[in-house]
Amino acid sequence: MSFLKKMFSKKGDEINSYAAFWEWFQANEATFYKVVKEGTSIEKDFFEKLTPMLDALHEGYFFLTGMCDETTAELVITAEGIVKNIVFVEELIKVAPQIPNWKLTALKSELDIENIQISMAGYEFKSENLSFYAIEHKNYPDEVDIVIVYDDFNEEDKSVIVNGAFIFLDNFLGELNSVTTIDSLAVVSREEAKEELIPIAKLKNYLIWREKEFVEKYNDYRYTTENDSFSSLEAELTNGKPLVAIVNSTLLEWENKASHPWIMRVVIPFNGNKKNGMPDDKTFTLLNQIEEEIMKELKDEDGYLNVGRQTADGEREIYFACKNFRKPSKVLSVLIPKYDNKFKIKYDLFKDKYWQTLERFKPSY
């Protein structure tokens, strides 16, 4: 598999649904197949046509293509590890039609380690020069903290080496497993290693064991915030403007945080008061309305917990702890266009089993 590409160009405005995209693809698949099979002008005659059509559906689609065998071309739609885009990749491929001579795949699939050898900028990444160890955290026993050790590590080319190791893992573990089973990941040299090294080939089995243990421990946990207590916190930014936060203080002390391991952070910029950065009454009401709309769709009994919000210097941040990452992406994809003429809303979704991101909201005694 070769030719990873994400280009930026004018969107295909006529593509407004998954069905419309696949209808367009089917109308052009014979030409695309010929281009991929010949392998001579893939960027110009395939990528530059495919990119605007995918962008018209949703930003954040990447793709790979190549020949699986003599008669089958494969198109892999990938989120390149960006969690909030995974559900849209999965949905697109789920409704894909059967097209002769094409294999359509959602996310990068896992490969046998013997078949993986990544070459980047003069470095090779393979099972013979990669190993790993896990760091155990007494206070965070379910944290999966992995350190990858690369034999030919060169500090001057650290960014290349880290990227190469990550690509190796995507191919070895599969893209979905790579982003969902590892909480923290670092790449170091043999000299920096602090634990006994384990062959990289054993990483997959280690992660399967940790995931099974985690699911068995937390799968049935649900939480309701109906009787929780909330706290109001105030602080001052370095520029002297105030920060005001409302947080669920009961929830922040919950001992089973890891059962909701995904954090969604919604950021809503607004035109604040020049003196203190706070919203006027109309804006304040609208910001609260947006939060209520999210809560209506993401209910605590379904595994989505509104932990709190902060407002400071022309920006509202809302935090949810989530049992799963797919539905939040769907909810925000509907909400953001609805308010696009008033706010440029952004959001992140990331793994944080112990809600360390939110530690700053806990009172210090």
pLDDT of the chain, 365 residues: tens digit per residue:
444 444 333 444 578 899 999 999 999 999 999 999 999 899 999 999 999 999 999 999 999 999 999 999 999 999 999 999 999 999 999 999 999 999 999 999 999 999 999 999 999 999 999 999 999 999 999 999 999 999 999 999 999 999 999 999 999 999 999 999 999 999 999 999 999 999 999 999 999 999 999 999 998 788 889 999 999 999 999 999 999 999 999 999 999 999 999 999 999 999 999 999 999 999 999 999 999 999 999 999 999 999 999 999 999 999 999 999 999 999 999 999 999 999 999 999 999 999 999 999 987 65
Sign of the alpha-carbon torsion through 184, 189, 190, 193: negative
Write the burial class of residue 130 (CB in 10 Å: 0-12 exposed, 13-18 middle, 19+ buried). buried
Residue 360: closest CA among 307, 300, 306:
307
Phi, psi (rounded to 5 degrees) for 231 = -120, 145
Phi, psi (rounded to 5 degrees) for 154 = -135, 115
The reported pLDDT for the residue numbered 364 is 66
- Residue 58 tokens read as 């949703």
Tokens 């607004």 — which residue? 270
Sign of the alpha-carbon torsion through 320, 324, 325, 327: negative
User: 78 forms bridges with which residues in the sheet?
Assistant: 62
Length of the chain equals 365
Output Rg (C-alpha) for the chain, integer angstroms.
Answer: 23
Residue 124: closest CA among 151, 148, 149:
151
The reported pLDDT for the residue numbered 3 is 43
Summarised one tens digit per residue, pLDDT across range 321-359 is 999 999 999 999 999 999 999 999 999 999 999 999 999
Summarised one tens digit per residue, pLDDT across range 43-96 is 999 999 999 999 999 999 999 999 999 999 999 999 999 999 999 999 999 999
Q: 40-58: buried (b, 16+ CB within 10 Å) or exposed (e) per residue? A: eebeebbbebbbbbbbbbb
- Residue 49 tokens read as 């046509």
